[in-house]
A = this chain, B = another copy of it.
Amino acid sequence: MGPKKILLTEDQMPRQWYNILADIKLNPPLGPDGNPIGPESLAPVFPMNIIEQEVSTERWIDIPEEVLGIYKIWRPTPLVRATALEKVLKTPARIYFKYEGASPPGSHKPNTAVPQAYYNKEFGIKKITTETGAGQWGSALSFACAQFGLECEIYMVRISFDQKPYRKNMMEAWGGKCIPSPSPATKVGREILEKDPNTPGSLGIAISEAIEAAVTDPSGKTRYSLGSVLNHVMMHQTVIGLEAKKQLEAINEYPDIIIGCAGGGSNFAGISFPFVLDKINGKQIEIYPVEPAACPTLTKGPFVYDHGDIARMTPLLPMHSLGHAFVPPPMHAGGLRYHGMSPTVSQLVSEGLIEAKSVTQLASYKAGVLLARTEGIIPAPETNHTLACVIDEANKAREEGKEKVILFNWSGHGLLDLAAYGKYFQGELKDFELSDAEMEKSEQVFANFPKPKLLKSR
């Protein structure tokens, strides 16, 4: 038996991110007129150096030294052999996980928050705005902005703001300003509050407020930041998979199966894209994004053009979608409650390079508790979905008598989600079923939009 944790030194950290746009084709984003939009139309929202990354087709992009310097606060993250889990499952599979809960905010999110803060600072920006639902992304960006001396303004969905004061305190500890959304600080916020002063808010409203706050700042020194979905975000996260590859190489292993949960797609992309490259080059690997059965974007939503937000402020993106007005049931895995999916992840599904799975809420918590009691770490509710799929595959390997190597991404710890575990133990969590009628209704919103082409990268 080898070591429990396979570590890399800071010298062994990847020096470049992997950009999957060098290896797959995407349908272009479309503007309101239905025509492809150019990078310049995004300039009021994002700094130009990030927009260049968003559209780049270079395969390898250098990670700036300053970003590596901050990554070193918690990276390289360990690759851990889940020996205790293997033992209770009596599986011949060898199971490894990349532990991304080691970052100060507790998830993989700072992998992109840090470079985004860096590029904004390089471009002369003084303040970044963003939205946050459950609070993971807002905390990660607040952490990153503190490292570069940038202001950070986070519009947090009001109901989460009220229910999760810890997340707000966390953002404040790093100097971020956390504003309940809708707020009187923006035009869109004021309009909504006038109609419904007691609205709980929504991610759609918060996005609209954050974008408005960025584009209307008269100084021109404010930009907006997004924590998932976009190409550059997926790319920044590939540091996870690139490290994992080196770590597995060091012990002469290569994965047969790769698993990561998918909400907007970024933690899944992080662990899997470097291996998707190998698969494109002929390797045999099963790669599974896992989503909640209550928000089955990849497993039930069609591949269409749709908006990334309910307020329709974003361009039309080619992706699997449940419809931009879809409101997922109130299940406790905030990071997976998103109607759409990263265009790159969606494209890989449409080409059959990866195969989506879905997991119910109760099955996910059951898996999370088993992992807490074996591997010792309490997982984030999002990670629980990954774990349920990992356990399924490990059981399958036992039934088949096969020594498979399973790699998964432990995207975060659950220390700020313990209330949801409490509800699970009290029997207060339930599964959600979506009816076909509900699905059909929510999908009407993109019925009249252009359709993406079926592209083949090979």
Q: Which residues of A contact B (CB under 8 A)?
A: 3-5, 7, 9-11, 69-70, 72-74, 84, 102, 104, 106, 143, 146-147, 165-166, 168-170, 172-175, 369, 372-373, 375-378, 413-416, 418-419, 421-422, 425
Cross-chain contact B422 with A378 (CB below 8 angstroms): no
**Chain B residues within 8 Å of A377, by CB:** 73, 104
With A73-B4, A73-B377, A173-B421 already in contact, the answer to whether A372 and B166 are too (CB < 8 A) is: no
Cross-chain contact A170 with B73 (CB below 8 angstroms): no
With A146-B372, A421-B173, A422-B168 already in contact, the answer to whether A72 and B378 are too (CB < 8 A) is: no
Instruction: Select the residue from A69, A147, A373, A421 with max chain B CB neighbours within 10 A.
Output: A373
CB-CB nearest 8 A-B residue pairs: A169-B418, A4-B72, A169-B422, A166-B418, A146-B373, A104-B376, A73-B376, A173-B372
10 A-B pairs whose Cβ atoms sit less than 8 Å apart in the complex: A3-B9, A4-B72, A4-B73, A5-B72, A73-B376, A147-B376, A169-B419, A169-B425, A173-B418, A174-B378
Cross-chain contact A143 with B376 (CB below 8 angstroms): yes
A104-B376, A165-B418 provided; 18 other pairs, C-beta below 8 A?
A3-B11, A4-B10, A4-B73, A73-B375, A73-B377, A74-B376, A84-B147, A146-B372, A166-B422, A169-B419, A172-B422, A172-B425, A173-B369, A173-B414, A173-B421, A174-B372, A174-B378, A415-B416
**Chain B residues within 8 Å of A415, by CB:** 106, 166, 170, 415-416
Shortest distance in angstroms between A50's beta carbon and chain B's nearest beta carbon? Answer: 22
Q: Give CA–CA (A171, B377) in the complex, Å.
A: 12
Cross-chain contact B376 with A146 (CB below 8 angstroms): yes
Q: Give CA–CA (A238, B379) in the complex, Å.
A: 29
Cross-chain contact B3 with A421 (CB below 8 angstroms): no
Cross-chain contact A166 with B9 (CB below 8 angstroms): no
Q: Give CA–CA (A146, B175) in the complex, Å.
A: 37
**Chain B residues within 8 Å of A175, by CB:** 373
Shortest distance in angstroms between A276's beta carbon and chain B's nearest beta carbon? Answer: 30
Shortest distance in angstroms between A114's beta carbon and chain B's nearest beta carbon? Answer: 10
Of B170, B174, B375, which is within 8 A of A373 by CB? B174
Cross-chain contact B378 with A173 (CB below 8 angstroms): yes
Of B168, B169, B421, which is within 8 A of A172 by CB? B421
Residue of B nearest to A365 (CB): B173
Of B146, B375, B418, which is within 8 A of A170 by CB? B418
